[in-house]
């Protein structure tokens, strides 16, 4: 089933691997297909506005950064108030409940409440407790692995420890949506390198075995085209040592060796990542210092074609 036909996608991976670029491309693809889409970043140094060539995106939803595409960079304080308002509908009631000193102290004191305010808000946009959702698809551009996992664990904890009531009902509803592979998907982003691959395999285990969440796709970002045939790798890598220190070809031989080694690591990463059965999406390395609208457009076409 296509990623873009789901209602809730959670883009996750190691720091700096391209989560925001991937989340933006998926959101752009869905919006261009006519789906009302929200790109919800989690408290990040916001690069999405540069990717899209628009003004910086703050903690309140910015409408129509592209046709059908809204975006927000969530922060807990604003998200908590908005989420409280969405659930309770009435500001007076919100004030009564959330600004009550005891409740406030409870919220501030409960680890995970800040995370839940943001995840809950993103969830609400995909699936309000009543009435039709405002968006067809919500794409969460999550924080790096550890924090993202903590965020996803919160509804499970709420389910276990919260007394029956509003909060628990919302956590139940959220987990039902998140765990339904027809409606939701975790999008794992990685690089074809050693450390990111290790982290991705661990993340995958936590998401599936521990949290029972469906994996919508494995995105391998910054993939290099193979220039060195595996059978020739040893010869390429031995080149510098075959040349004398004064050889004019030494720099070239070293570059060939470096490239071959990188491709070797990439091949090994692909082999190890094969244990993840979700559809794999490869994205090329653009070899440009910063991504902009053109690169995001190219990436989004890859998701449109899936
Ligand atoms: N395929 C690519 N080719 C070239 N550069 C890329 C590619 N993907 C991402 N980048 C660059 O890598 C950097 C990190 O990308 P991005 O911000 O999407 O990562 P991130 O995982 O969201 O990072 P963070 O963990 O800081 O939120 C950016 O400078 C981006 O322009
Ligand atoms: Mg990011």
Q: Where are the alpha helices (DSSP H) in 162-223?
A: 166-178, 194-205
Decide whether any atom of ligand 1 lies within 6 Å of the 144 Cβ: yes
- Quick one: pLDDT at residue 236? 93
pLDDT tens-digit readout, 120-135: 999 999 998 889 999 9
CA distances from 38 to 3, 20, 210 (A): 15, 13, 28
* Cβ-based neighbours of 233, under 8 Å, separated by 6 or more: 260, 263, 264
Query: With a cut of 70, which residues of the chain have pLDDT below it?
Result: 85-111
For the CA of 14, the nearest ligand: 1
Burial class of 34 by CB neighbour count within 10 A (0 to 12, 13 to 18, 19+): exposed
Q: Is the pTM of this model over 0.85?
A: yes
What token pair was written down for 241?
């040592």
What token pair was written down for 225?
């085209």
CA distances from 13 to 63, 163, 262 (A): 27, 33, 21
pLDDT tens-digit readout, 86-141: 666 655 555 655 666 655 665 666 667 788 889 999 999 999 888 999 999 999 99
To test the pocket of ligand 1, the residue of 11, 14, 15, 18 to mutate (highest count of ligand atoms within 8 Å of its CB) is 18
CA 121, CA 87: separation in Å to the nearest integer? 9
Q: How many domains does the chain contain in total?
A: 1
**Residue 153's domain is classified under what CATH number?**
3.40.50.300
- Quick one: pLDDT at residue 161? 83
Protein residue closest via CA to atom 15 of ligand 1: 18
Range of the domain at 237: 3-304
- Quick one: pLDDT at residue 26? 98
Q: Name the residues around ion ligand 2, CB cutoff 5 A.
A: 19-20, 44
| Atom from ligand 1 closest to the CA of residue 16 | 23
Decide whether any atom of ligand 1 lies within 6 Å of the 17 Cβ: yes
- Quick one: pLDDT at residue 64? 97
Protein residue closest via CA to atom 25 of ligand 1: 15
């Amino acid at each position: 089933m296509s990623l873009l036909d789901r209602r809730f996608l959670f883009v996750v991976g190691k720091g700096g691997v391209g989560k925001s670029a991937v989340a933006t491309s998926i959101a752009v693809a869905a919006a261009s297909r006519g789906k009302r889409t929200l790109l919800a970043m989690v408290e990040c140094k916001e690069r999405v506005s540069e990717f899209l060539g628009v003004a910086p995106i703050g903690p309140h939803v910015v409408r129509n950064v592209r046709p059908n595409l809204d975006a927000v960079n969530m922060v807990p304080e604003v998200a908590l108030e908005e989420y409280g308002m969405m659930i309770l509908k009435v500001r007076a009631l919100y004030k009564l409940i959330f600004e009550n000193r005891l409740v406030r102290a409870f919220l501030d004191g409960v680890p995970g409440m800040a995370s839940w305010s943001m995840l809950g808000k993103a969830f609400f946009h995909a699936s309000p407790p009543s009435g039709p959702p405002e968006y067809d698809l919500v794409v969460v551009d999550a924080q790096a692995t550890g924090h993202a996992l903590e965020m996803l664990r919160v509804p499970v904890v709420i389910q276990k420890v919260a007394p029956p009531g509003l909060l628990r009902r919302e956590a139940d509803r959220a987990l039902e949506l998140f765990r339904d592979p027809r409606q939701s998907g975790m999008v794992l982003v990685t690089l074809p390198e050693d450390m990111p691959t290790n982290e991705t395999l661990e993340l995958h285990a936590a998401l599936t075995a521990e949290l029972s969440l469906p994996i919508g796709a494995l995105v391998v970002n910054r993939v290099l085209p193979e220039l060195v045939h595996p059978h020739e790798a040893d010869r390429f890598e031995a080149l510098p040592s075959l040349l004398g220190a004064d050889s004019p070809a030494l720099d070239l031989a070293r570059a060939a060796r470096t490239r071959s080694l990188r491709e070797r690591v990439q091949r090994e990463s692909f082999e190890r990542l094969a244990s993840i059965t979700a559809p794999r999406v490869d994205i090329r390395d653009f070899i440009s210092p910063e991504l902009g609208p053109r690169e995001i457009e190219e990436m989004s076409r890859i998701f449109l074609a899936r």
